[in-house]
Amino acid sequence: MNRALYPGSFDPMTLGHLDIIKRASLMFDELIVAVLNNSEKTALFSVDERVKILTEATKDMKNVRVDSFSGLTVDYCLQNNLHIMIRGLRAVTDFEYELQIAQTNRKISDNKVDTVFLTTDLQYSYLSSSTVKEIARYGGDVSHSVPDYVEAALKEKFKGIRS
């Protein structure tokens, strides 16, 4: 069976992430979307909240499973017998960073984990979780960037922060 992992922070998941999930799910028999519990980064949404959002977003995609993990992504891959990692590329700036990570992951997994890059759909190339959070914090419209349940969750998070 052809399986792949799409790892990320997904804080929160955007329509850009969802587009990559949909496209990758058509390429593999099983796609595991896993939220990285990264103690280095301060997240707005808890890991459970991020998993819930991804589960809701992928509920109609029968070959997609949502999970979370801590530690090295290659360790998660090897423990779960996964050898392909999916990453999304928006611009040249993503490429430099992602290339280095992909090469490092290949090296430290003893060439057992490879990365496949999907280029963003142009309509989402400007989109990042950080800008979505920034816009939502100040009451801006994020309806074109995230599903409605994520927009509602963002409103709830920032309720009372302004005023």
**Footprint of ligand ADP (CB under 6 A):** 8-10, 14, 16-17, 20, 87-88, 90, 94, 120, 124, 127-129
**Which residue's CB comes closest to ligand ADP?**
16
Q: Give min distance, CB of 8 to ligand ADP, in A.
A: 3
C-alpha torsion sign, points 122, 29, 11, 42: negative
* Residue nearer to ligand ADP on the CB measure, 13 or 109: 13
For the annotated catalytic residues, the residue numbers are 17, 41, 90, 129
Q: Give min distance, CB of 32 to ligand ADP, in A.
A: 14
For 17, 147, 161, the CA distances from 14, given in Å and listed in that order, are 5, 7, 22
Q: Give min distance, CB of 156 to ligand ADP, in A.
A: 20
As a whole number of angstroms, the distance between CA 24 and CA 156 comes to 31
C-alpha torsion sign, points 110, 78, 63, 98: negative
